[in-house]
Amino acid sequence: MDDPVRGQYEAYPYPNRDPRDEARRLVTGSPSNLPEINHYLFTGRRDFAQPFRALVAGGGTGDATVMLAQQLADRGDAGEVIHLDLSAASRAIAEARVEARGLTNVRFVTGQIEALPELGLGTFDYIDCCGVLHHLEDPVSGLRTLAAVLGDGGGIGLMVYGAHGRTGLYPLQDVLRRLAGELPLEQQVGLARRVIEGLPPTNWFRRNPLLTDHKRSEAELVDLCLHAHDRAYTVPQLLDLIAEAELQPVSLIEPLRYRPEAYVRDGQVLKRLAGCDAAESAAIAEILAGNMHKHVAYVARTAEGRIAQVEGPDAVPLLRDVDGGKLAAILRKDPTLKAELDGLPMAFPMPRLAAAILAQIDGARSLAEIHEALQQLDSALTWEIFETQFDQVYAVMNGLNRLLIHYPGGTRASP
């Protein structure tokens, strides 16, 4: 094929998925988790029972498409998901996955992001663009094209590769192009495996524990090591890309990873860091951490007033991919929350009432109701004390993208 990227995905649809697996699991992640979208883009007040149009731009074999469509279907919400991808082979797998789940709220379109103006698909409340911009010849133009079909008040969830966390990959890609670039892709795969298996222990690709996709399947190996067009971004480069598309960053995910204080304990260093703005802090955090192999971000035309805030007793906390009861049991034994972020172990001291609060969070109870329940056990627990304790829990758990806020019955925000 004339387009090597399209040819790659026709031969090796990515990511490698088997539609039969839909019977046993739903692939989830960030962005495009509905409560997460609501929290970061719609102030926690988006009523998904109202018509909701989502575009998955570069949907591949369907992870984001299936995740969004299944969430909307589970809630009985009035949503439509448009799956756009240039590969017919990838689309076929995505269609089979949707069919396996009996979903009827997905529409498939074969085409390129650059062709969106001619496709006549209308505007969207939300756009997912994961793992795509860094494969385009002109990422800025691609993001501008997406912004042009974003409806009023809408937002975009995107993912691009992170430069520092992919240390060692690009020199290896260069070597493989020199050794096998003129061979048919299937032969390149075999030669790449031989090269990788023979790498000495000093090689940076072999030493990077984050570069493991090639071990899963041939499709993952091709996408990681033999991609026809691939680049990665530092935080400043990502922020420049967003700005050049006339958009603004709302939040990087997980927020805590982009705060230098997550990696620094020295008081003198922290004092110096205190003078940095958010962009500079995120850039420093990326370098300090060293393990950010991708960047997930929510962006919109206007960032201000997007993220849900804890606005008093009516706020409803929601745990994401966490069992509050199980976590509470762990914290009762040890009031230190332990987490691992891409191989980096982290520990966060939690406040006295953390376990009791987390055990009460079910996504339906408001803070007022949680406070009332805890007050039954301790009549001296004033709202002020409870609020302070919750804020401390929220700072850690939201920083890890595990605690979100929503306001049931709220109306769509229009920043």
Render pLDDT for 234-264 as a digit per residue (tens, 0 to 9).
999 999 999 999 999 999 999 999 999 999 9
- Neighbour-count burial of 322, counting CB atoms closer than 10 A to its CB (0-12 exposed, 13-18 middle, 19+ buried): middle
Spell out the domain ranges in the chain: 4-161+233-300, 165-225, 316-406
Torsion of the alpha carbons at 21, 26, 27 and 32, rounded to the nearest 10: 150
Contact 409, 50 (CB under 8 A): no
pTM equals 0.95
Provide the 10 A C-beta neighbour count for residue 220: 17
Ordered strands of the 294-300 beta sheet: 106-110, 79-85, 52-57, 124-130, 150-161, 294-300, 248-253
Q: What CATH number is given for 4-161+233-300 in this structure?
A: 3.40.50.150
Query: And the tokens for 162?
Result: 């992170």
For each of the chain's 415 residues, which pLDDT tens digit applies?
A: 468 899 999 999 999 999 999 999 999 999 999 999 999 999 999 999 899 999 999 999 999 999 999 999 999 888 999 999 999 999 999 999 999 999 999 999 999 999 999 999 999 999 999 999 999 999 999 999 999 999 999 999 999 999 999 999 999 999 999 999 899 999 999 999 999 999 999 999 999 999 999 999 999 999 999 999 999 999 999 999 999 999 999 999 999 999 999 999 999 999 999 999 999 999 999 999 999 999 999 999 999 999 999 999 999 999 999 999 999 999 999 999 999 999 999 999 999 999 999 999 999 999 999 999 999 999 999 999 999 999 999 999 999 999 999 999 754 333 3
- Neighbour-count burial of 117, counting CB atoms closer than 10 A to its CB (0-12 exposed, 13-18 middle, 19+ buried): exposed
Provide the residue type at 189 as one letter.
V
Residues 190-216, buried b or exposed e (16+ Cβ, 10 A)? eebeebbeeeeeeeebbebebbebbee
The CA-atom distances, in angstroms, between 22 and each of 37, 70, 97 are 23, 11, 6
Pick the closest to residue 103 from 128, 66, 60, 49 (CA basis).
66
pLDDT of amino acid 2: 62
User: ∠304-309-313 over CA atoms, to 5°?
Assistant: 150
pLDDT of amino acid 410: 59
